[in-house]
Amino acid sequence: MNPNTSTIQNYHKRTKHHLQRYAKGPETIDWDDQPDPFRRFSGCEMLTLPAPGRDLQPLFSDLDNPQAIPMQPLDLNNVGLMLELAFGLSAWKQFGPNRWALRCNPSSGNLHPTEAYLVSTGNDFIKSGVYHYVSHDHSLEQRCRFDETLTDAALLIGLSSIHWREAWKYGERAYRYCQHDTGHALGALRYAAATLGWSVQLLPGWSDADISLLLGLDRKDDFKALEHESPDMICRIIAHNHITPLNADVLLATAQSAAWFGKADSLRAYHLYKWPVIDEVADAAHKPRTEEPVWQAPQHVLPASSCIQSATAIIRQRRSAQQFDGKMPPLPLSDFYRMLAAVLPGAAAFDPWQWPPKIHLFIFVHRVEGLTSGLYALLRDNTALEKCQAATLDKFDWQKQSDNLPFYHLYTGDLKQLAKTLSCHQPIASDSAFSLAMVAEFSESLALSPWLYRRLFWECGLIGQVLYLEAEASGIRGTGIGCYFDDSVHEILGIKDDTLQSLYHFTVGKPLEDKRLQTFPAYGHLQSAWL
């Protein structure tokens, strides 16, 4: 077996939570010592983006047909809006003396390991180079200046992760959460671009080494030890109809010979605990350059969304529910089926995703109109039925529930208590309309390439982002759940080996507001910057 595959399998196994013991994490947490959630580079030129908070006309439901949304001009105003809607702040919360920011993209524990970069060449509204986005200030720090010989216009967004930020709280399991967050960030970027009539093309062939070089992540002296950034993905923003092919080699050579500026400020955290296993798994999941086969998802038409709010409003109001109303009226079946249809690979939100689906949903239905409580499955790939049947309990009846969806009834019963127990005893998994496990075709993916481990989590994060926004659009709310007892979930489903593995949970219901919290505007702290 490829040694990287076995490193990853070992990592996955040792970072499972068990009913009797959690994966290894810090024994104590000193909240005053939390790593700074906002990275800044000192010594760079700053570019303040136009004022945030602008609304656009397209409704959330218009995003189902993004081709019909008029393409907005590619300028600094709109690029700033895209960055804000994808990675910017959405609100500040306060409880007593504690104040914290929320963002348009969610993050496990609100720790935000994901960093976003903008790379521009040949665009007249911004000097060519590499910029780091500072969500707190809604500004760009120019890390690198390209000479202007690269005249082909391109706009790229790069994502990276500071694993340490997440590991500070979650220890060894944190690497998984960083990957989820990357998937959510990709989803957030796609929705943000779609409101502007733009689209996102994930560039699948790039190696991690190439991404590091382009974003300057390999410039070791610019980062404090343990606070480096790991490369995740590069996306191209398609903002008009005349796109010239991107010459990656020329772009990389330009970045290599260009002038770079700034050093990352310290995250101001004391590195009391160290988690070397995270560096080990990150090395083992290192992606080389690849030739990716072209795959086209079968298109399918979504049942219309009843949401009449603008897309920008839904994106900015997205939150994680902390608590649900366990006495909620059943969720209308049409809303539930809309959410299921929206996470199928042919749905518009999966435009940037160019690979056959490897994640299926096992759903604990608690309160959905017209459905008996119990366990159901949404198979996101028609060819997965036999595989999933063979890998799960014989007693599941696999009764198809809808002509239009690959949605199956497996088992009838009140599974509220079970769902709560499986998700680390969290009531959000039982007081909701439904909660679910995202189950990956695991061993087969890893056997193809070890780094596909990361892509499985990204796919989960992308599905999660769609569920978050679809829940908001239905007038309810979702929450990602990274804490669950892995093998207890597998036991309940009858999964005996690594063929299938649960990689993420999610829950959707009617939220209860925590009245003790005060809410403040996202950019109130910077109002004077745009006067």
Ligand X SMILES: Cc1cc2nc3c(=O)[nH]c(=O)nc-3n(C[C@H](O)[C@H](O)[C@H](O)COP(=O)(O)O)c2cc1C
Residue selected from 180, 380, 454, 510 as contacting ligand X according to rule CB under 6 A: 180
Nearest to 446, CA basis, from 489, 503, 378, 488: 503
149-178 residues in contact with ligand X (CB under 6 A) are 177
Nearest to 60, CA basis, from 320, 317, 433, 361: 317
Minimum CB distance to ligand X smaller for 228 or for 319: 319
Residue selected from 15, 72, 107, 128 as contacting ligand X according to rule CB under 6 A: 107
Residue selected from 58, 450, 480, 509 as contacting ligand X according to rule CB under 6 A: 480
> Applying CB under 6 A, does 196 fall inside the site for ligand X?
no
Secondary structure letter of residue 48 according to DSSP: E
Give residues with Cβ within 8 angstroms of 85, minimum separation 6: 104, 188, 191, 192, 195, 312, 315, 316
Tokens 């009539």 map to which residue?
Answer: 197
> Applying CB under 6 A, does 488 fall inside the site for ligand X?
no
> Applying CB under 6 A, does 108 fall inside the site for ligand X?
yes
Provide, rounded to whole angstroms, the least separation between the CB of residue 505 and ligand X: 7
Q: How far apart are CA 242 and CA 326, in angstroms?
A: 52
> Applying CB under 6 A, does 483 fall inside the site for ligand X?
yes
Residue selected from 49, 102, 167, 439 as contacting ligand X according to rule CB under 6 A: 102
Provide, rounded to whole angstroms, the least separation between the CB of residue 90 and ligand X: 7
Q: How far apart are CA 194 and CA 196, in angstroms?
A: 5
Which region among 58-66, 104-112, 191-199, 352-360 touches ligand X (by CB under 6 A)?
104-112
Provide, rounded to whole angstroms, the least separation between the CB of residue 64 and ligand X: 23
Which region among 98-106, 198-206, 236-244, 341-349 touches ligand X (by CB under 6 A)?
98-106
Q: Which two tokens stand for residue 503?
A: 């990689």
> Applying CB under 6 A, does 199 fall inside the site for ligand X?
no
Residue selected from 181, 229, 381, 431 as contacting ligand X according to rule CB under 6 A: 181
> Applying CB under 6 A, does 427 fall inside the site for ligand X?
no
Judge whether 59 and 314 are in contact, CB under 8 Å: no
Beta bridge partners of 121: 154
Minimum CB distance to ligand X smaller for 213 or for 282: 282
> Applying CB under 6 A, does 109 fall inside the site for ligand X?
yes
Minimum CB distance to ligand X smaller for 66 or for 511: 511
Burial class (CB in 10 A: 0-12, 13-18, 19+), 42: exposed
Q: How far apart are CA 272 and CA 226, in angstroms?
A: 12
Provide, rounded to whole angstroms, the least separation between the CB of residue 480 and ligand X: 3
Provide, rounded to whole angstroms, the least separation between the CB of residue 110 and ligand X: 4
Interior angle at CA 315, CA 311 and CA 316, nearest 5: 120
Q: How far apart are CA 134 and CA 145, in angstroms?
A: 18
Minimum CB distance to ligand X smaller for 129 or for 511: 511
300-339 residues in contact with ligand X (CB under 6 A) are 319-320
> Applying CB under 6 A, does 131 fall inside the site for ligand X?
no
Distances (CA, A) of 408 to 397, 471, 494: 8, 21, 16
| Number of chain residues interacting with ligand X (CB under 6 A) | 20
> Applying CB under 6 A, does 482 fall inside the site for ligand X?
yes
Provide the residue type at 38 as one letter.
F
> Applying CB under 6 A, does 479 fall inside the site for ligand X?
yes
Minimum CB distance to ligand X smaller for 82 or for 174: 174
Q: Which two tokens stand for residue 108?
A: 């496990």
Beta bridge partners of 408: 377, 400
C-beta atoms surrounding 519 within 10 Å: 12
Which region among 78-86, 106-114, 117-125, 143-151 touches ligand X (by CB under 6 A)?
106-114
Distances (CA, A) of 51 to 40, 75, 103, 132, 360: 20, 14, 16, 18, 40
Residue selected from 37, 52, 66, 106 as contacting ligand X according to rule CB under 6 A: 106
> Applying CB under 6 A, does 481 fall inside the site for ligand X?
yes
Provide the residue type at 394 as one letter.
D
Q: How far apart are CA 508 and CA 463, in angstroms?
A: 13
Residue selected from 135, 426, 430, 501 as contacting ligand X according to rule CB under 6 A: 426
Q: How far apart are CA 393 and CA 408, in angstroms?
A: 14
> Applying CB under 6 A, does 4 fall inside the site for ligand X?
no
Per CB under 6 A, residues contacting ligand X are 102-103, 106-110, 177, 180-181, 184, 319-320, 426, 428, 479-483
